[in-house]
Amino acid sequence: MNQVDYLRISLIDRCNFRCQYCMPSGVELDYILRQQLLTDEELLLLLREVFIPVGFTRFRLTGGEPLLRPGVVELVKAIASLPETQDLSMTTNGFLLAAKAQELYNAGLRRINISLDSLNPETFDKIIGDRVHSRWQQVWQGIQAAHQVGFDPLKLNVVIIPGVNDQEVLDLAALTIDRQWHVRFIEFMPIGNDSLFGSKGWVDSAQLRDRIRQAFGLETSQVRGNGPADIFQIPSAQGTLGFISQMSECFCDRCNRMRLSADGWLRPCLLNENGQIDLKARLRAGVALAELREQVRQLLVIKPEINFKQRDSGTTGNYTRTMSQIGG
Ligand code: SAM
Ligand code: SF4
């Protein structure tokens, strides 16, 4: 069985974008009230006394938009300085990154994933739900800043939606030819986006690979990720192409992660809502840390039974939380 040692930590459920596939505009979201967010102290306590002792050593900060979390740089520093932290990374939309890239790097962050679904500013703004101000340029500057500061690997996350950005697959893949960047195509999932998923559908990774193979050639990469992505490369390209195929394939047997939401719910599987436990409520009710450790250990034991395979396949809108609320 795979060792589960990777925790994705949502720092905040709010976001400065409203990506159509994540927080569709028009859908009312109940944001977590500030007093319901795990505080920095509670998060660090849980990491030191609960997660690290049961075997978690790799952490990713996500959201919502993690750079909106007040004090995010200090938090990065605190997590990076825990002696047991073997890996600390962040997933961001990049909008606030140009100003923060150096500080984050100095605080100890080394790996970053930036979401970029389009190279076309108009399409980009349509996807992120802002038709008044163009945000693409600022995100692109954030990516350049992260590159210059030295984030390595620098990964770009792409969600392809038919009829929205599927015509850009080759352009996005071509970014890896001359740059040591890693572009990762994530299959579009039906989480909190009922009508978009229902009307557009999704494209599976195999189709994307075929298109890229026909245009540029494609080979299995020597680079191996330690996550769910299948890694390929355009021959002689400097960067790689990753495919995360949670819709078309089942990689539950390789799953090495759990998710902690910004309000302290620990979730064993992204696509199955069973088994979640409210660590914040327990912590605030005074439950002993030893007891919390035991409960997380138990969850690790039953995790293989709580997985994507068990979800109701093919249904949409079946999830009570959006990606921004879960911590994607
Ligand atoms: N705001 C940050 C960002 O966008 O990178 C971090 C949070 S976001 C929820 C994390 C990742 O989840 C992003 O790369 C985003 O593209 C992906 N995501 C969100 N909703 C998705 C969906 N319905 N299907 C597939 N990926 C999704
Ligand atoms: Fe915000 Fe990220 Fe969701 Fe887009 S994908 S709405 S940037 S949390």
More confident residue, 313 or 23: 23
Closest Cα to atom 1 of ligand 1: 65
- Whether the link from the prior residue into 304 is cis, omega within 30° of 0, is no
* pLDDT exceeds cutoff 70 at 311: no
Q: What is the pLDDT of residues 246-292, one digit of tens each?
A: 888 877 888 899 999 999 999 998 877 788 999 999 999 999 999 99
pTM: predicted TM-score of the whole model, two decimal places: 0.94
Model confidence at 196, pLDDT cuts 50, 70, 90, reads confident
Question: Which residue out of 14, 15, 157 has the highest number of ligand 1 atoms within 8 Å of its CB and is therefore the one to mutate?
Answer: 157
137 SS3 class = helix
- Which residues line the pocket of ligand 1, CB cutoff 6 A? 15, 21-22, 62-63, 65, 91-93, 115, 157, 159, 186, 188-189, 191, 193, 323-324, 328
The whole-number average pLDDT for the span 49-59 is 98
Whether the CA torsion 2, 4, 6, 12 is positive or negative: it is: positive
Give 198's contacts (C-beta < 8 A, 6+ positions apart): 316
For residues 281 and 185, give the distance between their C-alpha atoms in angstroms, rounded to a whole number: 36
Model confidence at 317, pLDDT cuts 50, 70, 90, reads very low
* pLDDT exceeds cutoff 60 at 165: yes
* Ligand index nearest the alpha carbon of residue 183: 1
- Which residues line the pocket of ligand 2, CB cutoff 6 A? 15, 17-19, 22-23, 63-65, 93, 115, 323-324
Q: What percent of the chain has pLDDT over 70?
A: 94
Give φ, ψ of 168 to 5 degrees: -105, 5
The whole-number average pLDDT for the span 102-130 is 95
Q: What is the DSSP string of 56-89?
A: --EEEEESS-GGGSTTHHHHHHHHHTSTT--EEE
Closest Cα to atom 8 of ligand 1: 328
For residues 92 and 98, give the distance between their C-alpha atoms in angstroms, rounded to a whole number: 12
Q: Which amino acid is at 188?
A: F
The label of the residue with tokens 């978690």 reads 56
Closest ligand 1 atom number to CA of residue 63: 7
Domain spans of the chain? 6-326
Residue 286 C-alpha to ligand 1 middle, in angstroms? 34
* Ligand index nearest the alpha carbon of residue 113: 1
* pLDDT exceeds cutoff 80 at 25: no
Given phi > 0 = left and psi -120 to 50 = alpha, else beta, which region is 194? alpha
Reference 184, options 125, 246, 134, 131; nearest CA is: 246
Query: What single-letter DSSP state applies at residue 93?
Result: -
Query: What single-letter DSSP state applies at residue 173?
Result: H
Q: Helical H runs in the chain? A: 40-46, 72-80, 97-107, 121-128, 136-149, 169-178, 194-200, 205-216, 279-284, 289-302, 323-326
Give φ, ψ of 256 to 5 degrees: -125, 20
In terms of CATH architecture, what is 6-326? Alpha-Beta Barrel (3.20)
* pLDDT exceeds cutoff 90 at 145: yes
